[in-house]
Amino acid sequence: MPATDNQGSFLNRISIRRNQVVSMDGGHEQELEDLDLFQKHVADRFSDLFSQPPQQPSPDSSAESPAPDALLSISWLRKLLDAFLCCEAEFKAVLVMGRDPTQFSKPPLDRLIPDLLDRSVKALDICNAITHGVELVRNWQKLAQIAVFALQQQPIGEGQVRRAKKALNTMLTSMTLDDKESGHGKSTERTWSFGRRGGGAASASVNKDRTAGGHFRAFSLSFAKSWSAKQQIQAMSSNLVAPRVGEPTGLALPVYIMSTVLVFVMWALVAAVPCQERTGLATHFPVPRQSGWAQAVLGLQEKIGEEWKKKEKKGIAGVLDEMQRMEKAGLWLVEFAEAFQFPMESSKADEVAAQVAELADVCRRMEEGLVPLQLQVREVFHRIVRSRAEVLDVLDQVGKLTSPVPY
């Protein structure tokens, strides 16, 4: 998914226009047109993300299965990051290309630009956490794949069921975050450990296996003990204020729009993918409802917030669509394994086959999408680094232009 949607044509148009009006009157009108174009592209991209495709009939059963680009699916997150990369490139064109650097030293940009740079640093931390979180999800996919291979054997015997049960118990144990065993030692680093909470036969089996085998650690991830994804998002959105009518420069609006896009994208990633310390993650942040570009962002915020509220109560590690489907199928198959008797009834075999097919579909989508998603998060990281450096270069020019000449 290359970030090329309108991007090249927009940048070319900006560059040509700036060259055409550099020595002509009417530059202000051209700037307003560029800003309108930027807002329109932001609105179009997020409207596309807000429009969910209909569910598709599953080839393995009469039931409907989630569409590939369903909200919070891996492919949807990749589209979200692609939209961010396009918006960021266009924003940089509006902000920097052909711009008089002294504008950066005038209100309100003298305040807004440093705030944006600070949000960028926090976004880099979140990108690092998300990259590791995706790696954790890949480990779950491998465990689920073991169960799929075991239960696809015909006929299903005691050995296959035991092997699938062990893999699924390990996966389910890791899918619920348990902070009770971490953060209390002398180490200056924090290590995630995962445990399973809840009732039912599947949960009882998981807890039994965990006690018998010692404290299971499927994945460890070192961050500063005080680091918190929730606090990062709070800090990024705390001073996110829409520009007032009559601001001295029109550039305040695109800076605010890009800041909002950055916060929203990082917030959605934190909600979807396992991250350290997300308990109490806010389900919304202020976005002006009267703005046309913000309507789709508000709609997405509400939908993702609803999913987060439901899943946070259960202690799930994230609201990624494939993770939720994986957990649901895994719990069902563990309960089946607890009550398994050989030979299996034909009616039960059909139910098992349907759940195995569901888990196999999730594994396939993860196999195809997780590595590209991880690479795309890294691309976002490097893009933010480069753009931040370019803005700092402009600020450095401003400092040189405004410094008194020594005599």
Question: How does pLDDT run across 181-219, given as a tens digit for each residue?
Answer: 333 333 333 333 333 334 444 444 444 444 333 333 334
**Does residue 108 or residue 143 have the better pLDDT?**
143
367 pLDDT higher than 50: yes
Within-domain flag for 57: no
- The answer to whether residues 370 and 321 touch, using CB atoms and an 8 Å cutoff, is no
- The answer to whether residues 235 and 122 touch, using CB atoms and an 8 Å cutoff, is yes
279 pLDDT higher than 90: no
**Does residue 179 or residue 175 have the better pLDDT?**
175
Determine the 3-state secondary structure of 177 from DSSP.
strand
Within-domain flag for 330: yes
Number of folded domains that form the chain: 1
**Which residues constitute the domain of residue 233?**
34-50+72-92+107-402
Helices vs strands, H then E, count in the chain: 11, 4
Instruction: Report d(CA 59, CA 360) in Å as an integer.
Output: 12
Within-domain flag for 351: yes
The percent of residues above 70 in pLDDT, for the chain, comes to 73
Within-domain flag for 153: yes
Q: What is the DSSP string of 92-154?
A: HHHHHTT--GGGGGSTTHHHHHHHHHHHHHHHHHHHHHHHHHHHHHHHHHHHHHHHHHHHTSS
Give the pLDDT mean for 105-131.
93
Within-domain flag for 117: yes
Question: How does pLDDT run across 232-265, given as a tens digit for each residue?
Answer: 999 999 989 888 766 655 789 999 999 999 999 9
404 pLDDT higher than 90: no
Instruction: Report d(CA 402, CA 301) in Å as an integer.
Output: 42
The dihedral of CA 172, 178, 180, 183: what is its sign?
positive
Give bridge partners of residue 191 from the DSSP assignment: 222
334 pLDDT higher than 50: yes
Asked if the peptide bond before residue 343 counts as cis, ω within 30 degrees of 0, the response is yes
Question: Residues 6 or more apart from 407 whose CB is under 8 A from it?
Answer: none
pLDDT grade, residue 55 (50/70/90)? low
**Does residue 258 or residue 285 have the better pLDDT?**
258
Give bridge partners of residue 64 from the DSSP assignment: 57
Average pLDDT in the chain: 80
CA-to-CA dists, residue 238 to 125, 282, 286, 357, angstroms: 17, 11, 9, 45
Within-domain flag for 4: no
* Global pTM value: 0.82
Within-domain flag for 81: yes
- Write out the two tokens for 252: 């305040």
Give bridge partners of residue 222 from the DSSP assignment: 191
Nearest residue to 149 (alpha-carbon basis) of 363, 350, 351, 346? 363
- pLDDT value of residue 67: 63
Nearest residue to 113 (alpha-carbon basis) of 377, 379, 397, 380? 397
Instruction: Report d(CA 370, CA 378) in Å as an integer.
Output: 12
Nearest residue to 54 (alpha-carbon basis) of 69, 72, 73, 35? 69
